[in-house]
């Protein structure tokens, strides 16, 4: 076991998969010699050579098309989009091409691409770097979306994503890259896609969350427990498409109260889908409506306004209080 940051765990996952499977290729802008703008691909080109780890021209759509073409020709591309705010340049490759390859060919071709991309707020990036755009992919049939919240999950989930025979968008929250270290096993292990993790058990109210908001939610849960003794259950979704409905519903049936916490704007992200699922499957178990704690429905804030815009511990505590006192 080694103590790793999330970004180190991500590099390690790619290294493990590149060693195991020679069809795994890593490419994107500055991922080669430079080792990536966040050092996520550090050392990979030196270890595996320029045939396996290489820089591309500065063109996201070209990167996406390259990945799709390689994937139908027997390779397993791990393509990096430098910041997920740039996904619009390559949205066709993800949402109209990779996602539909298996379906439109009746299973003849598949597109096992992993699109890795950083996102997320709290580090004062310039425009269109931090936006939470996972909801767009959630609404795209045929592609999975994974968002890890810690080093251990990041490695196990990325290994699963690379091995998955369908396209996966793997979103890495920038604030979590180096914010803490965790024990991460050497070598290979995997965490199944589509399975949530109950990171804290509780009996009075459930928080359903993902990404950086897992940590915000855990702090809020702690505060609330200190303040009024209510036991909060916290679910880290880990995969937001497909969503682990079973774990959510099971928890709601136990606690009878829930909130969804996401960094994305209120009408973006996954909160609405989760609430709809709870309404369909567990309404008779609810003591209160399921509320959302989210960012407001504006464009992602100017860097100086992140602190007042992003959901924080206080807003999560408020949300919990409202459903508990309903």
Partner 1 sequence: MSVTTAVEQTGNNTPLQILAPDGTVVRPDLMPNLSDDELRELMRKMVFTRVWDQRAISLNRQGRLGFYAPVAGQEAAMIGSESALSKEDFILPSYRDIPQMVWHGFPMHKAFLYSRGHIEGGRIPEGVNVLMPQIIIAAQCTQATGVAMGYKLRGEKRVAINYFGDGATSQGDFYEGMNFAGVYKLPVIFFSQNNGYAISVPFEKQTAADNVAVKAKAAGIANARVDGMDILAVYHVVQEAKQRGINGEGATLIEAMTYRYGPHTMAGDDPTRYRTGEEQSEWEQKDPLIRFRKFLENKGLWSEKDEEAVIEEAKQAVADAIKKADEAPKMKVSELIDVMFETLPPELEEQKAEFLAKESK
Q: Which residues are catalytic?
A: 129
Residue 249 engages partner 1 in binding (rule: CB under 8 A): no
| Interacting residue with partner 1 among 30, 61, 190, 313 (CB under 8 A) | 61
| Interacting residue with partner 1 among 37, 72, 123, 324 (CB under 8 A) | 72
| Interacting residue with partner 1 among 26, 66, 213, 220 (CB under 8 A) | 66
Residue closer to partner 1 by CB (options 2, 58) is 58
CB under 8 A: which stretch of 150-158, 178-186, 238-246, 288-296 binds partner 1?
A: 238-246
Q: Give which of 2, 4, 46, 54 is closest to 24, Cα–Cα.
A: 54
* Cα 315 to Cα 212: distance, rounded to the nearest angstrom: 15
Residue 109 engages partner 1 in binding (rule: CB under 8 A): yes
Q: Give which of 136, 144, 212 is closest to 174, Cα–Cα.
A: 212
Q: Which tokens in the block code for residue 199?
A: 């990171």
Residues contacting partner 1: total by CB under 8 A: 42
| Interacting residue with partner 1 among 37, 128, 230, 245 (CB under 8 A) | 245
Per the rule left: phi > 0, alpha: psi between -120 and 50, beta: everything else, 295 is: beta
CB 154 within 8 A of CB 9: yes
CB atoms within 10 A of CB 302: 11
CB under 8 A: which stretch of 36-44, 61-69, 175-183, 302-310 binds partner 1?
A: 61-69
Beta-bridged to residue 2, according to DSSP, are 184
45 class by beta-carbon count within 10 Å (0-12 exposed, 13-18 middle, 19+ buried): buried
CB of 142 to partner 1, least distance (A): 6
| Interacting residue with partner 1 among 106, 298, 299, 308 (CB under 8 A) | 106
Residue 188 engages partner 1 in binding (rule: CB under 8 A): no
Residue 169 engages partner 1 in binding (rule: CB under 8 A): no
Antiparallel, parallel or unpaired: β 182-184 and 2-4: antiparallel
* Cα 206 to Cα 99: distance, rounded to the nearest angstrom: 32
Question: Which residues within the stretch 126-165 sit at the binding site for partner 1 (CB under 8 A)?
Answer: 141-142, 164-165
Binding residues for partner 1, per CB under 8 A?
51, 56-57, 59, 61-62, 64-75, 77, 92-93, 96-97, 102-110, 141-142, 164-166, 194, 242-243, 245-246
């Amino acid at each position: 076991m080694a103590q790793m940051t999330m970004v180190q765990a991500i590099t390690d996952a790619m290294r493990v998969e590149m060693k195991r499977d020679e069809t795994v290729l890593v490419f994107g802008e500055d991922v080669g010699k430079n080792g990536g703008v966040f050092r996520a691909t550090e050392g990979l080109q030196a270890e595996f050579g320029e045939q396996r780890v290489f820089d591309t021209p500065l063109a996201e759509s070209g990167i996406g098309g390259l990945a799709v073409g390689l994937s139908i020709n027997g390779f397993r591309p791990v393509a990096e989009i430098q910041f997920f705010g740039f996904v619009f340049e390559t949205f066709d490759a993800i949402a109209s091409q990779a996602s539909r390859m298996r379906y439109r060919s009746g299973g003849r071709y598949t597109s096992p691409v992993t699109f890795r991309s950083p996102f997320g707020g709290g580090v004062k990036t310039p425009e269109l770097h931090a936006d939470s755009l996972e909801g767009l992919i959630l609404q795209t049939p045929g592609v999975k979306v994974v968002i890890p919240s810690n080093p251990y999950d990041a490695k196990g989930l990325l290994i699963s994503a690379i091995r998955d025979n369908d396209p996966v968008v793997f979103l890495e929250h920038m604030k979590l890259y180096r914010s803490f270290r965790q024990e991460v096993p050497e070598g290979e292990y995997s965490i199944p896609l589509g399975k949530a993790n109950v990171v804290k058990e509780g009996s009075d109210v459930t928080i359903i969350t993902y990404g950086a908001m897992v940590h915000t939610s855990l702090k809020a849960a702690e505060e609330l427990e200190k303040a009024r003794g209510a036991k909060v259950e916290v679910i880290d979704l880990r995969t937001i498409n497909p969503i682990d409905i079973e774990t959510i519903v099971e928890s709601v049936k136990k606690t009878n109260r829930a909130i969804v916490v996401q960094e994305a704007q209120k009408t973006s992200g996954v909160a609405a889908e989760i609430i709809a699922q709870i309404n369909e499957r567990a309404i008779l178990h609810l003591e209160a409506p399921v509320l959302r704690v989210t960012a407001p429905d504006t464009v992602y804030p100017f860097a100086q306004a992140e602190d007042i815009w992003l959901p924080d511990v206080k807003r999560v505590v408020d949300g919990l209080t409202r459903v508990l006192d309903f």
